[in-house]
Amino acid sequence: MSNIQDKVVIITGASSGIGEATARELASKGAKLVLAARRQERLKKLQEEIHQNGGQVIFKVTDVASHEQMEELAEFALKEFGKIDVIINNAGVMPLSPVHQKKINEWNTMIDVNIKGVLYGIAAVLPSMRERKEGHIINVSSIAGHLVFPASSVYSGTKFAVRAITEGLRIEEASNNIRTTIISPGTITTELLETISDPELKSAIVEDTKIGIEPASIARAIGFAIEQPSDVAINEMIVRPTIQEL
């Protein structure tokens, strides 16, 4: 039996891309899923598909930038399934721009979703995981959490922050038997580029990202981290297209 079977897993950003692919992967291995994102129709459609394939899944429309809504998401999971084994803090946005353009609203959104959203996810699940002395917190960073590219200053700042927060959490919670994993994807073919507001920059990046691989490749890496025995923690993974240089 897979070590994913019957684990209760919250996935944020499950309405598209990596989150959606991860939901399919973990459902096929018997996880009990709690999906979150803002687009209800997309979550509903995915729920129907997973149900048709015999999987167990519930969803809650949630904005990860709201501390209250993230607390409600964790309460929903506990009420429906009785425990939370894993949270995958995956929701993210990437409105790239050079700093001199002063796209303050986009900076704030990246900080709210990519950093605060991850922190609120951690805060929502930590009390019940500490009580059970068991749990797994998986945070999605990026290759941009290791390297800075032109126009990625703020986005990279948020993804470096995800790595720092996750490493700090690892040290703090090791004695509580809570595992942490940082996943840093390279170029993955998803809807992420849609958040770039500058048309010229967007088309240049679309060109650069034609080497992208399927989100299922990240879903498999996440599944690998979850399915390890509970005394084994996969703390960090970089998953790139083979032909991606940087």
Question: What residue ranges bind ligand NDP (CB under 6 A)?
Answer: 12-19, 37-39, 42, 62-65, 90-94, 113, 140, 142, 185, 187-188, 190-192, 215
**In this structure, is the dihedral angle defined by the CA atoms of residues 24, 63, 34 and 29, taken in order, positive or negative?**
positive
Tell which residue, 134, 125, 237, 228, has the closest CA to residue 181. 237
**Smallest distance, Å, CB 145 to ligand NDP?**
8
Residue 135 or 212 having the CB closest to ligand NDP = 212
Residue 12 or 47 having the CB closest to ligand NDP = 12
How many residues in total does the chain contain? Answer: 246
Determine contact, residues 119/165, Cβ cutoff 8 Å.
yes
Determine contact, residues 44/14, Cβ cutoff 8 Å.
no
Residue 58 or 177 having the CB closest to ligand NDP = 58
Point out the residues that are catalytic. 155
**Smallest distance, Å, CB 103 to ligand NDP?**
16
Residue 135 or 215 having the CB closest to ligand NDP = 215
Tell which residue, 114, 99, 92, has the closest CA to residue 151. 99
**Smallest distance, Å, CB 162 to ligand NDP?**
8
**Smallest distance, Å, CB 179 to ligand NDP?**
19
For the CA atoms of 178, 168, 14, 206, the dihedral, rounded to the nearest 10 degrees, stands at -150
